[in-house]
């Protein structure tokens, strides 16, 4: 059997970590006779529970203190392994740790987002740009780096001359989500219900969605419409003030963080995510899985998942979002009973692809 260690910063419900857990769960579900999977966290786990299969070994290094002590422990652990070994890291801190585990395993990573843009939103323009370039330079020395979209693969090959890049499309844990699927409620059709799910931060642009919704209501004063925000973040107070100022408390709701957001998500008609940058948004994949068409900005790989009008609409500029919301109403967008995820982003396809790659590595 082949040993695979997934190295992550913490076991939380952020997009990259949910991607790592989806990979671990799928490998141990479909190929439990081929792979032994461990998940190692550098900083522990938060209070939000993530479903992880019982046959996955979970190791937490939080109590070991310094980066040096954690590296020393990992080196001993990896050197003691007798099975073929791959360490697959996710996010900057885990990639940094993986980068210094030289000579004891094959080192893999996954580029989950457009770091050049995301890091500038998170850390400021100058430091974010420097950090993104350092991160890319680290990854160039790995044995294999996976891009989660065709857009990302082409970007890394063209702009940074990556020679170790492979394609493994982003996917969600469809097995875990399928048990949460609900029938389309009979009440759908009485109102148009828009939903946002994600961090309430500048990069995700929730305030643009709120102001666009206000303008839409003024254009269609007789139309019954609702807007629900699922998630927390630094803009929550600002959104709350805007809702009160506009007097729309009756049709806009800030749900905050939900451990299980899928009932709320499935009670909506249309998912909206006006982010300035996304890798391949997991929230959109989850919405598509439950049959919700999506409205998103035409950036990064969004055109790969919203490839036709059945799956939703893309808009270019901030001022175009109102028109996209209106167009969705005119098209009669509603939640479907079946998944709308494009074939290349489905879990079964991608887990079969990673299995092929792993078997080639073993041979």
317 domain residue, yes or no: yes
Tokens coding 147: 């891009």
332 domain residue, yes or no: yes
Tokens coding 73: 């422990």
| CA 257 to each of CA 49, 90, 236, 264: distance values in angstroms, whole numbers, following the listed order | 13, 23, 11, 12
The C-alpha atoms of residue 251 and residue 226 are separated, in whole angstroms, by 5
46 has pLDDT over 80 = no
94 domain residue, yes or no: yes
189 has pLDDT over 80 = no
Domain range for 81 is 2-171+347-362
Judge if 8 and 30 occupy the same domain: yes
177 domain residue, yes or no: no
Judge if 242 and 135 occupy the same domain: no
Is 220 strand, coil or helix?
coil
* Residue bearing tokens 């074939």: 343
39 has pLDDT over 90 = yes
Instruction: Tell me which long-range contacts 179-182 makes (C-beta under 8 A, separation of at least 24).
Output: 180/260, 180/262, 180/263, 181/266, 181/290, 182/262, 182/263, 182/266
Q: What are phi and psi of 266, to 5 degrees?
A: -75, -10
Judge if 299 and 163 occupy the same domain: no
**Tens of pLDDT, residues 89-118:** 999 999 999 999 988 889 999 998 899 999
The C-alpha atoms of residue 273 and residue 341 are separated, in whole angstroms, by 16
- Best CA proximity match to 118, nearest among 277, 287, 317, 343: 277
Pair 142, 99: CB distance under 8 Å: yes
| CA 142 to each of CA 15, 109, 246, 280, 339: distance values in angstroms, whole numbers, following the listed order | 22, 7, 52, 22, 35
Judge if 211 and 324 occupy the same domain: yes
Mean pLDDT of 133-152: 96
Give the chain's radius of gyration (CA, Å).
21
Q: What are phi and psi of 323, to 5 degrees?
A: -65, -35
Q: Domain containing 337 — which CATH number?
A: 3.40.50.2000
112 domain residue, yes or no: yes
The total number of structural domains in the chain stands at: 2
149 domain residue, yes or no: yes
What DSSP designation does 48 have? S
Pair 226, 196: CB distance under 8 Å: no
Judge if 196 and 140 occupy the same domain: no
116 domain residue, yes or no: yes
The C-alpha atoms of residue 33 and residue 27 are separated, in whole angstroms, by 10
- Best CA proximity match to 89, nearest among 166, 28, 141, 16: 16
Judge if 61 and 204 occupy the same domain: no
Burial class (CB in 10 A: 0-12, 13-18, 19+), 10: middle
Pair 50, 17: CB distance under 8 Å: yes
Lowest mean pLDDT among 37-51, 128-142, 195-209: 37-51
**Do β-strands 57-60 and 165-167 pair in parallel, antiparallel, or remain unpaired?**
unpaired
Judge if 121 and 201 occupy the same domain: no
The C-alpha atoms of residue 242 and residue 276 are separated, in whole angstroms, by 21
Judge if 126 and 194 occupy the same domain: no
Please give the model's pTM, rounded to 2 decimal places. 0.94
The C-alpha atoms of residue 101 and residue 87 are separated, in whole angstroms, by 9
Judge if 159 and 195 occupy the same domain: no
**Distant-in-sequence, close-in-space partners of 25: CB < 8 Å, separation ≥ 6:** 51, 52, 53, 56, 173, 175, 176
The C-alpha atoms of residue 149 and residue 305 are separated, in whole angstroms, by 10
What DSSP designation does 104 have? S
Judge if 199 and 254 occupy the same domain: yes
**Tens of pLDDT, residues 213-223:** 999 999 999 99
Judge if 210 and 137 occupy the same domain: no
CA angle (161 as vertex; 157, 166 as ends), nearest 5: 45
Confidence class for position 3, pLDDT limits 50, 70, 90: very high
Judge if 146 and 246 occupy the same domain: no
176 domain residue, yes or no: no
Confidence class for position 187, pLDDT limits 50, 70, 90: low
User: Dihedral angle at the C-alpha atoms of 9, 143, 3, 37, nearest 10 degrees?
Assistant: 30
**Tens of pLDDT, residues 245-261:** 999 999 999 999 998 99
Mean pLDDT of the chain: 94
């Amino acid at each position: 059997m082949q040993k695979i260690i997934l190295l992550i910063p913490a076991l939380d419900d952020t997009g990259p970590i949910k991607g790592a857990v989806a990979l671990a769960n799928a490998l141990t579900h479909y190929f439990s006779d081929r792979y032994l999977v461990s998940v190692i966290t550098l900083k522990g786990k938060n209070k939000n529970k993530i479903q992880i299969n019982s046959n996955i070994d979970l190791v937490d290094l939080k109590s070991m203190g310094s980066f040096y002590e954690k590296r020393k422990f990992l080196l001993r652990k990896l050197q003691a392994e007798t099975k073929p070994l791959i360490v697959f890291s996710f996010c900057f801190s885990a990639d940094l740790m993986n980068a210094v585990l030289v000579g004891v395993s094959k080192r893999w990573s996954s580029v989950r987002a457009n770091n050049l843009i995301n890091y500038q939103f998170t850390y400021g323009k100058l430091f974010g740009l420097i950090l993104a370039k350092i991160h890319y330079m680290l990854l160039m020395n790995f044995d294999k780096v996976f891009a989660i979209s065709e857009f990302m693969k082409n970007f890394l090959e063209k702009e940074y001359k990556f020679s170790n890049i492979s394609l493994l499309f982003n996917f969600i844990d469809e097995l875990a989500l399928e048990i949460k699927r609900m029938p389309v409620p009979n009440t759908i059709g009485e109102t148009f219900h828009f939903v946002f799910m994600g961090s309430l931060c500048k990069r995700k642009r929730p305030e643009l969605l709120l102001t666009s919704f206000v303008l839409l209501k003024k254009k269609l004063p007789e139309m019954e419409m609702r807007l629900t925000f699922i998630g927390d973040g630094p803009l929550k107070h600002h959104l709350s003030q805007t809702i009160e100022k506009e007097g729309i408390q009756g049709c806009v709701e800030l749900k905050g963080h939900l451990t299980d957001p899928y009932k709320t998500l499935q009670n909506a008609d249309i998912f909206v995510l006006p982010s300035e940058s996304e890798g391949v948004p997991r929230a959109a994949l989850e919405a598509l899985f439950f049959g919700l068409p999506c409205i998103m900005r035409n950036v990064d790989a969004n055109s790969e998942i919203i490839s036709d009008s059945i799956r939703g609409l893309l808009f270019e500029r901030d001022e175009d979002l109102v028109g996209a919301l209106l167009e969705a109403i005119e098209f009669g967008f509603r939640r479907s009973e079946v998944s709308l995820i494009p074939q290349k982003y489905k879990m079964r396809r991608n887990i079969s692809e990673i299995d092929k790659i792993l078997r080639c590595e073993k041979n």
